[in-house]
Each structure stands twice: as structure tokens, then as C-alpha cells.
Structure 1
Amino acid sequence: MTEVSIHGNHFYNEDCIAGFRAHIPDDSVDLIVTDPPYGIAGDTLHKHYNRNEAFVIDGYIEVPAEAYGDFSRRWIAEAARVLRPNGTLYLVSGYTQLYHVMAALRVAELVEVNHLIWKYNFGVFTRTKYVSSHYHILYYEKPGPGKRTFNLACRYGLRESAPGGGSLNYQDREDVWLINREYKPAQVKNKNELPTALLVKMLQYSSNEGDLICDPFMGGFSTARVAVGLNRRFVGFELSETAFDRGAAMMEGLSPGALLEQLRQPQASTLANQGRAWDETEIEAVLSRYDSLRAGGMTKKAAFETLSTEFGRGRWALERILKRRGDNPE
């Protein structure tokens, strides 16, 4: 076992199951983000994608298909142990071994929050079936006291509008994510690396600066780079000595928080009463004012904008009040 510590972050060249037991106490990790071996002969993926492996580092360690169920149960049990109550897990999986992964999550008594789909570019070309161009992202939490971290407006403000209409915040939080893989021609890389944009999104929504992030299958250290770049603490494991040595060397030159200045800043909501409980007096005032505006010839859209400004409420909240009265605010 080799341990490298950089800026207080810990990287272990070790099997994650043994490493979890040796190095990470119960209920101590805020967020786990990982992309474990898929159990599909990942060391031969280039044959399906027709890609040049000249710049891909050697040492990818696959899990035999017949052992995948036991492998999943063992490492997920340890992941559940180290997560804090209401800590969360993002687990990226293909469909081939998805049954085993979801069964292991149930045995570990982790609870599903969302079953996300990551739609990517450059799927596997086929002639006799549909092209596979997505992965599953299983977003689970450990039940217990406390509150699960979910930063609702960390990327887009609740009132930011998309260019074609609709809410940018709503669109960003839909459960199908369209994020391209990173194309790195003539660059040294790991066999299967998650794109930075995907990892940034997970960490923004589900962690805060100073939180402890863990990746039990570091591979190319993508999760580690993003976590440290966003000023989170990190601990992780990688069994391949080749991948570990390269990844640890890359971490030497990364300053904690280096990615923060690149993040998009959401437009803060200016709604004074957003999230506050309604009382009957306010409801009656909203309904009366809406009727007055519409009677004066104002369009529904303009009426809602006026009500939002005057009452400090969002459109959806105002629509719910009108629907309760039986109006159709669409």
C-alpha cells in the first residue's frame, strides 16, 4: 500500500474495500462520487469504440462478470458505513451489471433520491440494435438524522430564464443530463474518465467547500481533481499502480480552490417572500389584485410579472394560488 498526502488530501494505492476499513471511520464522508469497473471487459473497450489506445495508460483493472455481484455488495457496504447520515452517493454504471449494483444498494439500505441518465456523444456503433449512448447515475443517500445537502440555486437562480423560454434552473435539474465526453486527442489519459462538467455539476449540487469527498475507484483522478479544485477535502483509492502514480503526480500541481473562479455565478433571486408560508389575507390580496389587473386589459404574463414584483412571490407560487380558486393561469 502506498499513501500520498497533498494539501491534507489522502490518496491510497490500495484496494478500496481494505482501504475503507483501514483508513475511513464510520459516518465521516459527506459525498461519494465514483465510476467503478463495469464488469464488461473494460480493458478491451477500444475494440468497440475504434479508438487509438496509444495515449491510454496501461493497468486498467477489470472485475470478472461472474464476481460482480459479490464485488458490488462488498464495496457498497463499506461506502454505506463511511457515509454520514444523509450523506450522498453518485454511482455511474452501465446497464450490463446494473441489476447487481442496484441490489447491492438495497442490501446496504441506501435510499434512492434520483435515477439519473447521462446522455453522451459518440455511442457504440451498431448494425443490429440501437446505439448505446448513455450511462446510469444512481443518486442515493444514507438515511438518518440531519439534512441531505442539495444546493438548489448553486448554478442557476430560480428566476433565470432560458433563451427559448422556461427556467434555466429547472432545465439544469432535470434527470437526463446531456454532457459530452471529453475528447483528448494525443493526450495521455485513463481508460474511462468522467468529464469535468459532469463532476462539477454533481459536486456543486451535493457538497459545499470543506466537505469530505471520496472516490473508491479513482482511475484517472478526475473526481479528485474536481473536488480539490472546488476546495473540497478528498480521500480516494486506486488499485492500479500505473494509474495511481500518474494521478498522484498530477495532483501535486493543483491548488485547492483553483476551479472556483471558473464557475458560473447564478443570478440571485430578489423575491422577498419566496418560501414563506402564505396567510389568508395575502391570498385574498393576490386574487383581488390579479382580477383587477386582468379586468384592466393586462395579459396573464404581464399580470404575473406585476404580482411577482408587488408580492415578492415566484410565478409558480402565484399559479398555485389561482389554481386553488379554479382559475387556469396557463
Structure 2
Amino acid sequence: MRSKRNKTIDFSLEEASPELLEQILQPIKNIRGTRDKIINGDSFKVMKKLSPHQVSLALIDPPYNLNKQYDGLNFKKMTTEEYQEYTQKWINLLKPLLKDNASVYVFSDWATSISLAPVLAQNFTIQNRITWQREKGRGSQKNWKNGMEDIWFLTVDPNKYTFNVDRVKQRRQVVAPYKKDGVAKDWQATSTGNFRDTMPSNFWDDISIPYWSMPENTGHPTQKPEKLLAKIILASSNPGDFIFDPFAGSGSSLVTAAKLNRHYLGIEQSLLYCAWGQYRLNQVKNDQTIQGYTDGVFWERNTLAAQRKVMRHKN
């Protein structure tokens, strides 16, 4: 029997309401100009039908080059050359959709990243490689536990792109505050604690993967956290911009975009994952919170009590 604290979204298609399933778009009719929808279909076919030059930010979380099952659909590990061809194929379909000042973020594990890098460099300007310490990972007796993933930050134009550094600062608790002439230096003394809002780096150690007690958690095997996606969306887009995800999974990027007042479009081949994503989108109007993002900043792990204290004080 499931614990009352377990908030995982993993209902079956038989349990989904007809009204919910009707909200998911099927790419049968003209879908040019479509926004704020999940499309159930094959990305390699659907992208050909979309309007060009509309995407400000693309979030790409393709199957990593591993043997993996997604709702009964198997992705089989390829040779390096085959995976690079696969990558170039979706890039060729994506590029016409992008605005001239668009940014693209591509997720990968360390091994897949080696294959991705030369293909990405041929098609975009690589601005940075972010390392996400996702913490959870299977232990190994013969190798180091894999607790990291790469996120490639790419732009269409090397100089013309959005980056809102002030919207993605991280708030750290000050343990040993330094004062100069009795005044706090580079930190703030408040009634709720001592804090420093720091500039974001390319090493992200403040984000856990979704787990069973979080409302955003689903049964998807490789779900990305809303907090992680919020960092990217806030940094590399503005309110009202158009966010695109051709491998949408259970809709985390779309939900986060909606919570942050962006337009969005996602494509996902599993109808079940689409249903989970649409269910989550329907909750946004009642709940726009993003765990770990409070008071306009991102917080370290295990600081929920401090975040609540700040919000109680503000309210």
C-alpha cells in the first residue's frame, strides 16, 4: 500500500479521464503556430510540421546512448558514429525552428557527452558545459558511482543571446559572517537569518532529482527536476518567450515554463507520459511553486525550513 506522503504521478491510461486525454494534441491536422500544448507523436515527423523561427529556447533531453526502456519503447545503445548521426538528424529538424538569438540546452550523461560534443560544436556555439551533481546513482564495485550529468549551453549566434544572470542567483546561508567596520560585507543580515546571494556557476550541486514525496514526481525513469529547468528558463528566456522540448517525457520543462509565464510546446511519443504531463499542466493554475526556488533566488539543498521562514516573514 502506498504511503500517504507518496505524491508520485503514475496513473495508467485506463485511469486517465477522457477530458484529460482530449487535451493532448494529435499531429493529424495543421499544427503550425501551435503553442501551450503537448503533442503526442514522433518528434522526427512532428518537427517538420511546425512554424519556423519561433523558438527562443530549446530544451533537449534526448535518450542517452544507453539501453533504456520508456513506457515499453526500447532505445538501444548505438555505436558512436550511429549516435552522432541520430543527433545530427534531430539538430537538422530543430535549427529551422530557432530564432536568430535562440539558446539550446542539451542534456547528457558523461559517456554520451563525449559523442555529442563534436556534433554540437559543428552546429552551434558552445557557451559552456554545466555539471549537474544529481547525487542519486547506482553504486559500483569496479568503478566510481555515476552522480553527475552534463548540460551543454549552446547558442545560435555567438554574441546575440539572452542571459539573465540576476534571475538565477543562489542564496547561501552565511555560517561565519565577515564584517568590515561593523557592517556586513557581501552578505545580508535579516530577521530570518544571514544570507549571501551568489553569482551562478557551471557546477550545480543544489538540485536533487525528483523523489516520491515531491508533487512533481512521476513514474518517468529519467525525469528532470523543475528546479533545474527553472534555472535554465529564467537565465535564457524572458516572460512570454517560446520554449520548445521535442523529447518532453512527463512534461517537466512545459510545466516549469508555464509556471514562469512562458509559452511552450512539447512533443512526446508515449501517450502515457503525455497524460502525466497534461495532468501536471492542469495543476499549474492552482500551484506555481517550484521547490527550491523561493523569494526570487535558488536555495541550497535541505533549506526548506529557512525558505518557509522567509516567506512567512514576507507574508
TM-score normalised according to structure 1 size? 0.66
The 3-state SS of whatever aligns with 2:239 is coil
Indicate yes or no: 2:108 matched with 1:81: no
1:16-39 CA-partner distances (Å, limit 9, x unpaired): 1221111131x2100011221112
SS at match of 1:86: strand
| Cα separation, partners in 2 of 1:61 and 1:208, compared to 1, 3 Å | farther
1:70 partnered with 2:68? no
Deviations 1:190-247 (A, max 9, x none): 1110011111111111111100001110011111110111110001111122222332
Matched letter for residue 65 of structure 1: M
SS at 1:65's partner residue? coil
- Partner residue in 2 for 1:228: 258
**1:122 corresponds to which letter in structure 2?**
K
Larger RCO (CA within 8 A; separation ≥ 6): 2
Aligned to 1:97: 112
Unaligned runs of 5+ in 2: 1-24, 178-185, 188-195, 298-315
- Residues 1:161 and 1:181: Cα distance change in structure 2 (over 3 Å): closer
**2:268 matches 1:255:** no
Q: Distance in 1 between the 2:122 and 2:244 partners?
A: 21
What's the CA shift for 1:80?
2.5
- Alignment of 1:181 with 2:213, yes or no, is no
Distance in 1 of aligned mates of 2:260 and 2:64: 27
Deviations 1:129-165 (A, max 9, x none): 11111000000000178x31111211449xx885146
**Alignment partner, residue 148 of structure 2:** 134
Aligned residues: 246
Q: Which moved more, 1:111-120 or 1:123-132?
A: 123-132
Contact 2:110/2:148 (8 A) holds in 1: no
CA contact (8 A) 1:213 1:227 kept: yes
Amino acid of the residue matched to residue 264 of structure 1? D
After alignment, is 201-210 or 132-141 more displaced?
201-210
The structure that is helix-richer by fraction is 1
| CA RMSD after TM alignment | 3.1
Instruction: Kindly indicate whether residue 130 of structure 2 is the aligned counterpart of residue 116 of structure 1.
Output: yes
Partner of 1:303: none
Q: Does 1:2 align with 2:29?
A: no
TM-score, length basis structure 2:
0.69
SS of the aligned residue for 1:96 comes to helix
Give 1:51's aligned residue. Answer: none
- CA gap of 1:86–1:210, structure 2 versus 1, over 3 A, is same
C-alpha distance 82-40 of structure 1, shift in aligned 2 (>3 A): same
Determine the C-alpha separation between the residues in 1 that align with 2:295 and 2:93.
Answer: 35
The answer as to whether partners of 1:154 and 1:205 remain within 8 angstroms in 2 is yes
**SS of equivalent to 1:104:** helix
Give the Å deviation of 1:60: 4.9
Alpha-carbon shift at residue 63 of structure 1 (Å): 4.7
Tell me, yes or no, if the aligned pair for 2:162 and 2:237 is still in contact at 8 Å. yes
Secondary structure of the 1:210 match is coil
Q: Do the aligned partners of 1:231 and 1:257 also contact (CA within 8 Å) in 2?
A: no
Supply the AA of the counterpart residue of 2:139: F
Matched letter for residue 93 of structure 1:
S
> Which of 249, 263, 266 in structure 2 is aligned with 1:219?
249
In structure 2, C-alpha distance between the alignment counterparts of 1:77 and 1:169, rounded to whole Å? 40
Conservation of the 8 A alpha-carbon contact between 1:76 and 1:104: no
Hey, what's the Cα distance between the residues in 2 that align with 1:9 and 1:135?
28
- The letter for the 1-side match of 2:98 is L
Moved over 6 A (4+): none
Structure 2 residue matching 1:205: 3-state secondary structure: helix
SS across alignment from 2:39: strand
Residue aligning to 1:29: 55
1:163 and 2:174 correspond: yes
The code of the aligned residue for 1:99 comes to: I
Runs (5+) with no aligned partner, structure 1? 44-56, 267-330
2:132–2:204 contact (8 Å) kept in structure 1: yes
